[in-house]
Structures are given as C-alpha cells and as structure tokens.
Amino acid sequence: MLPDSDLVFQDSKSVRKSSLCILCKGSRKLCGKSRCPLLVKYYHRSKVMPLIDRLDLDGSSPPSVFVGRLGYPKVYVGPMVPPVHGDTEILDLPERWLDKSMDDIINYRFQLVRGMHRTSVHELENPGRIVDLTRELAMATYSTDVEAEFTKKPSGRLVLDDSSQPMGPSAPLKGFNVDNLRIDRRIDRAHSDHDLLAKDAVIELHQQGIPVTKIQRAFSVGAFGVRKRRKMVPTRWSITAVDDITGKELREVVKTFGTIDDYRIYWSSRLDNRWAVLMMPTNWKYELIEAWYPETVWNPAKNSRILLINDWEGYEGRTTYADIGGCYYAARLAVCESLVAERRQASTVILREAHPGYILPVGVWNVRENVRNALRQTYESFDSLRSALFYISKRMAIPVKRWIRNSHLLKDRLYQRRLEDFAAG
C-alpha cells in the first residue's frame, strides 16, 4: 500500500512525474485509465462550488461530522453540511451505496462542506460550543438543519482515501447552530452511561442493529466510554476501530458453533471490483487477498504487473495490524456477521480483483458492503476444495495458481497433511 495522506490523491504523484496530464488534458487517456480521475473530480466540483461560494451556509446535515488526524492530538473537528435541505441521509450512509455508481458517490461526498475547528481530542469536559454541537450532531438519528459560518469561503479539492469516504471542500469554522436535532435514544443511553466501556457500547449498539456507520460517527466524537477517559478519535481510525471491535466479538461467538459441511463460493461485483468469498468446512480462520491491476488506485503504472497483497489469521486471531489496513477488518466483520446469523463457523478466504475501472478510492465501506452482499446471495456448493477452486478459475481473471501461491490458508489446506489423512490411510 502507498503511504497514507489526508490531502493528496496518491495516484496523482506518479502521473505528474511523467507529465502525462499536461500532454493528455483528459482527452487521450495517456495514463491508461478508462476515465480521467482529474476530470471526474473537476466535474463534480464545478457543480457544487457556485452553491457554496460564501461565508455562510445552511443545509441539512445527513447527519455527518469530521474528526481529522493531522497534528494529533490537536485536530480539526466540525460538522459536514450540504447546500441543500431535506432528507440528505444518503450523503453519508455507505450502507445504501452498494448499487450506486462512482459518479453518484463522488457527487454525494462533494456536496458536504467540512467545517474545521481546531481542538484537542481530550477537550471533552469543557470543550466549547462548537465541539459540543459537533458531538450532538454525530449522535443524531435523522437529517438535521445546520447553519454554519466560516472565516473563509469553502475551497479545496476532493480528499480521497481508501480507508474513509471521500470528502469535499472545507473551510475554517467560526460557529454553527443546529435545529430540529433528534438524538438516537439507543446511542444516547450509551453516551449517558459514564461507567460503560467504549468497547462494550460499540458491541451493544451493533447487536441492537445500529448501522456501523452511525456507531463509527458517535465513536469518533468521544461519545462512549468511562467519563474521564473519553476522547475524540480521528474519523479514519474510528472506522477501523469499530470494525475491529465488533468483528472480534462476533469471531468468539462463531467459534462456539459447529463447522459448515461443504465448500462454498459466494460472489459480488461492483465498481469494477470482483469478489469471491470461499468458505471451507474447518474451524475459524480468515484471509483477505487483494489483487490490484495496473492503472488502478494503488497500482497506477500502466505497464506494471498485477500486485497481490494478503493478510490472514488463525483460530486465535492475530496480534499485529494487518498490512492491508482497514479493508481487512471491514471484510472480517461481514464474514462474522454472516456466520453468526447461520450459527456456523468456517475457514474463509476472500479474493478481490480491483480492475482498471476502479479509478478512485471510495473507502473501506466498499469492502464491507460487497462482502456482505456476496454473503446474502445463494452460494455454489462443492464437495472438495479443488472443485471449488476450479469453479473460481472460471469466474476470476487471475489464474488460481497465483491465488494459491499468495495465500497462506489455501496452501495450508491443499498441501499440509492432517491427522485424518493418516487415519484414512
């Protein structure tokens, strides 16, 4: 993976080095992408900028808030507000984006203007009006009317990051007010319990059916935890933290069930990403393998090889952070949710092919929701791993041999002899 950045679209660095953008100007596709990422961003920016070319803005927040990470522990926090009124929930609810196009998603996100107020993540006892209102907005259950005042007109490019949703223009925040704010009672109860650990609050809210995005939002503003230990968490970190907390809890539940009886293949395909979820009839293990084609977000060079990266865990889990990053924990949560619902356990390998049409990163929700979608579909059943892999070879572009070569769990299952093998002999 390339280094993280809050302010730069990582792909653009390599493009600028070769001066392809100057030569191409979006019309010749010299970078090899099916669409010019710069023009996609410019098109959506040009639609919204005339509506926010001012020092004040009023609209209905989805609700949505932002907690930055640059300069941690002193970070920028504030509301995210579009220049429109009404039901705007879809602008910040990835659970409803699965069937949306890349243009839809960029359009949703570019409408949200980030108000930026500098504060310490620890300032929650007497944080001031802006932080107080930001925290209340993060716990709201419906779109909320917001009036914001800035010290400068909103500006800036679309912020792209594969861990969090894209974000549009921003402006230093002078102050803001909210109207018709209604806080979700379940989140409010967790917020009001000053003896409830943040981890336990997250788990309870997930069990109650609160969308992961809404839990992450409240978690980021320090709404949960023992009173004096509460603090704000950068949006990017809170997304992975909630996926990890809920995934670990469900994983332990999964281990109490019997294993599935067959080999299963589930499928999903969105935004030029292909997903194959392979479940095997053994105790809990999990692996995610991502294959990035040339001319995609994290493998931008036109003539490079397909790059594969994987992370895995055994029955006891893992002790180090996954190199793949937040995608690993997002996919694991989706797998655990499905297995708990079925009251079964399995060893699961997820194969992801990111093809050249995936021109912009849209966030780890793309992984979570695609795996969820795959696991909602009717699966193909097989009596052996080799027959399951043969079926995968007909649906995925990358040869099965290469998936096996880059997989810990597949190699282990195919080539490692077990006690039952000796008993059978």
* Domain spans in the chain, listed from the N-terminal domain onward: 11-184, 263-424
pLDDT for the residue 300:
76
Tell me how far apart the 2 most distant CA atoms of the chain are, in Å.
Answer: 78
pLDDT for the residue 14:
39
pLDDT for the residue 56:
95
- Regions in the chain scoring below 70 on pLDDT: 1-47, 49-51, 157-164, 303, 417-425
Non-local CB neighbours of 189 within 8 Å, separated by 6+ positions: none
Residue range 305-342, pLDDT digits in tens: 899 999 999 999 999 999 999 999 999 999 999 999 99
Tokens of 249: 């809890």
Plot region of 295 (φ>0 → left; ψ -120 to 50 → alpha; else → beta): left
pLDDT for the residue 294:
87
Q: What are the Cα distances from residue 326, in Å, to 21, 239, 247, 323?
A: 31, 8, 12, 9
pLDDT for the residue 3:
34
Q: Strands 170-179 and 113-120: what pairing?
A: parallel
Note whether 411 and 402 are within 8 A (CB): no
Non-local CB neighbours of 290 within 8 Å, separated by 6+ positions: 308, 309, 310, 324, 327, 352, 354
3-state helix, strand, coil in the chain (%, to 5): 40, 20, 40
DSSP conformation letters of 212-269: HHHHHHHHHTT-SS-GGG-----HHHHHHHHHHHHHHHHHHHHTTSPBPSSEEEEEEE
For 404, the 3-state DSSP assignment is helix
